[in-house]
């Protein structure tokens, strides 16, 4: 079973990028690898925050460079 | 018109309450089909608007898939770029794809930098803002990432240019309900001046917010104030019992091209843009002006090098509003004099509602299909015409060989526009 944060990221990726196979959404890949453009990436992040019911200040996303670092950041905010 | 390149129409696209493409639109107009009904969930207390001519069953992916003559990569790109765009932008992409295909730009292309995009309209996404607002109210950081791109009307230009790979000139133009003609005039100037060889002119779907609709209603401009029965009979342009306009969802495209480029590409030529005029009233109110409308129509006819009696048909602005229709009749009499009895007049808005910023382009397509197919469409609900001397089409379509047509667009704040279309020497035929 997936952890809930990665599952939420996967749901958002598939909604924003319908052509992407959800199985490819893994912590070692980046959203860019999956074909996301600059706005797609922000969309995925916003939708995932919404899905998980968390709010993360924009400044904290500076440390995010792949799906793994995104998942770790979001996990810190999930209670 | 003198100087510059001759401008012709080589493609059309349309989407409205009664039709999903140009040929379906021609059929719906000839049949006098109405797209006006009661908006679901609207109140019956007479205090808010309840009539609308909305698109029925529009689905972007289905509409793109229906353009099967276009390449699969192009259709896939359209879905990729605009699959989650607001309705007005999706509608713009759909009509642009139809215009692109009909103009044969997919078969015999032009250099990307020789094609322009002019979008008619402003304040296009009010309803989309209504949809997004609750999210902002509960949690500002969860506002969709695309919102700053989407709330700008220029998203229409950007998205269509992205899908079609167009890199020539592009921008939006505004003129309230005359926006469509303002865009046609701008597109024609780009082509005439040689800035581009072809220009997609897009009438953008104006999706009003609840508050914007209420504003028009409170002003007394909208139909439905007189009662709640017989919704299909409430919009009645040029009828003594008219009570205002009904908002319609619609978008359209005309591809304007230099005659030389059209000939080199062997593109179908629907009509020539023979003349146009745009006049302001120096009046910020909603009051129409016979002098301004007369100046626009007479100026357009003059710029086409014609005398008024050569014009066989007028696609009237004719919203069904009390003041607007009466003033337009006054202007028609001033322009045509005794010849007014011989000029066919109808209003497309009686059938598909007032598509607001898109209206000029939607009605250009209506004019072009009537010229192509040799008919004039019925006037909806015209039982007691306000002018016995005007040649209003009745409740049935009539055969008509139109050589020159005038298409009017007038907007709040004193925008008066008129465009003259001329049937080409070798008319384009409806494709089987």
Residues of A with CB under 8 A from a CB of B: 16, 18-19, 39, 42-43, 45-46, 49-50, 55-56, 58
Nearest Cα residue in chain B from A44: B145
pLDDT, residue B299, reads 98
**CB within 8 Å: A45 and B83:** no
As a whole number, mean pLDDT of residues B342-365 equals 98
As a whole number of angstroms, the distance between CA B291 and CA B283 comes to 12
The answer on pLDDT for B77 being more than 90 is yes
User: Does B142 contact chain A (CB < 8 Å)?
Assistant: yes
Judged by average pLDDT, the poorest of B44-53, B249-258, B406-415 is B44-53
CATH number of B273-422: 3.40.47.10
Percent of chain B with pLDDT over 70: 97
Number of helices (H), then strands (E), in chain B: 14, 15
Residues of B in contact with A19 (CB under 8 A): 80
As a whole number, mean pLDDT of residues B366-393 equals 97
Give the single-character DSSP code of B283. Answer: -
As a whole number of angstroms, the distance between CA B165 and CA B81 comes to 12
As a whole number of angstroms, the distance between CA B291 and CA B279 comes to 10
The overall average pLDDT reported for chain B is 95
B427 band by pLDDT with thresholds 50, 70 and 90? low
Which of B142, B149, B155, B162 to substitute to test the interface with A, most A CBs within 10 Å?
Answer: B142
As a whole number of angstroms, the distance between CA B57 and CA B314 comes to 31
Nearest Cα residue in chain B from A16: B84
Percent of chain B with pLDDT over 90: 88
Radius of gyration of chain B (CA): 20
B41 band by pLDDT with thresholds 50, 70 and 90? confident
As a whole number, mean pLDDT of residues B159-173 equals 98
Nearest Cα residue in chain B from A43: B145
As a whole number of angstroms, the distance between CA B343 and CA B380 comes to 18
As a whole number, mean pLDDT of residues B5-28 equals 98
pLDDT, residue B432, reads 47
The answer on pLDDT for B3 being more than 50 is yes
The answer on pLDDT for B226 being more than 70 is no
As a whole number, mean pLDDT of residues B314-327 equals 97
Note the pLDDT tens digit of each residue in A52-72: 999 999 889 988 999 999 999
As a whole number of angstroms, the distance between CA B270 and CA B268 comes to 6
User: Does B429 contact chain A (CB < 8 Å)?
Assistant: no
Domain with CATH 3.40.47.10 in chain B: 7-265, 273-422
φ, ψ of residue B67 in degrees (nearest 5) = -80, 55
pLDDT, residue B39, reads 85
B38 neighbors B50 (Cβ within 8 angstroms): yes
- Between residues B304 and B429, the one the model is more confident about: B304
- Minimal CA–CA distance to B86: which of B207, B188, B187? B207
* E-state strands within B310-413: 313-315, 344-346, 375-376, 391-392, 398-399, 404-411
Residue ranges of domains in chain A, CATH in brackets? 4-77 (1.10.1200.10)
CATH number of B7-265: 3.40.47.10
pLDDT, residue B220, reads 87
As a whole number, mean pLDDT of residues B230-249 equals 93
Residues of chain A with pLDDT under 70: 1
B46 band by pLDDT with thresholds 50, 70 and 90? confident
Radius of gyration of chain A (CA): 11
């Amino acid at each position: 079973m997936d952890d809930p944060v990665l599952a939420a990221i996967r749901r958002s990726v598939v909604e924003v990028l319908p052509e992407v196979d959800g199985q490819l959404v893994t912590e070692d890949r980046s959203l860019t690898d999956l074909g996301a453009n600059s706005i797609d990436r922000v969309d995925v992040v916003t939708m995932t925050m919404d899905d998980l019911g968390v709010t993360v200040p924009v400044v904290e996303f500076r440390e995010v460079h792949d799906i793994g670092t995104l998942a770790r950041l979001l996990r810190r905010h999930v209670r | 018109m003198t100087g510059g390149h001759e401008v012709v129409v080589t493609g059309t696209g349309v989407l409205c309450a009664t039709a999903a493409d140009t040929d379906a639109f021609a059929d719906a107009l000839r049949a006098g089909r109405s797209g006006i009904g009661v908006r679901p969930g609207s109140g019956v207390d007479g205090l808010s608007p309840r009539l609308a001519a909305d698109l029925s069953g529009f689905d972007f992916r289905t509409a793109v898939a229906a353009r099967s003559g276009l390449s699969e990569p192009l259709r896939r790109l359209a879905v990729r770029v605009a699959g989650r765009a607001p309705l007005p932008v999706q509608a713009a992409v759909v009509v642009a794809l139809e215009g692109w295909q009909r103009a044969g730009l997919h078969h015999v292309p032009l250099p990307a930098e020789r094609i322009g995009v002019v979008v008619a309209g402003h304040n296009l996404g009010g309803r989309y803002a209504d949809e997004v607002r609750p999210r902002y109210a509960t949690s500002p950081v969860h506002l969709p990432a695309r919102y700053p791109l989407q709330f700008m009307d220029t998203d229409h230009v950007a998205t269509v240019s992205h899908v079609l790979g167009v890199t020539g000139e592009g921008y939006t133009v505004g003129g309230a309900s005359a926006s469509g003609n303002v865009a046609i005039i701008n597109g024609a100037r780009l082509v005439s001046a040689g800035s581009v060889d072809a220009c997609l002119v897009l009438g953008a779907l104006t999706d009003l917010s609840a508050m914007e609709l209420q504003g028009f209603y409170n002003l007394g401009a909208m139909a439905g104030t007189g009662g709640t029965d017989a919704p299909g009979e409430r919009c009645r342009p040029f009828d003594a019992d008219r009570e205002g306009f009904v908002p319609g969802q619609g978008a359209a495209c005309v591809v304007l091209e230099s005659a030389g480029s059209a000939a080199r590409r062997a593109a179908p030529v629907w009509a020539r843009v023979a003349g146009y005029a745009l006049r302001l009233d120096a009046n910020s109110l909603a009051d129409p002006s016979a002098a301004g409308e007369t100046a626009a129509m007479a100026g357009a006819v003059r710029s086409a090098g014609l005398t008024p009696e050569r014009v066989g048909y007028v696609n009237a602005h004719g919203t069904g509003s009390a003041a607007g229709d009466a003033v337009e009749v006054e202007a028609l009499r001033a322009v045509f004099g005794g010849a007014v009895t011989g000029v066919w007049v109808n209003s497309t808005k009686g059938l598909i509602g007032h598509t607001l910023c898109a209206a000029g382009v939607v009605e250009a397509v209506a004019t072009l299909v009537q010229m192509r197919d040799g008919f004039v469409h019925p006037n909806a609900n015209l039982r007691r015409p306000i002018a016995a001397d005007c040649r209003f089409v009745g409740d049935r379509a009539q055969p008509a060989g139109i050589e020159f047509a005038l298409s009017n667009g007038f907007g709040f704040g004193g925008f008066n526009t008129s465009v003259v279309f001329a049937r080409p020497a070798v008319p384009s035929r409806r494709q089987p």
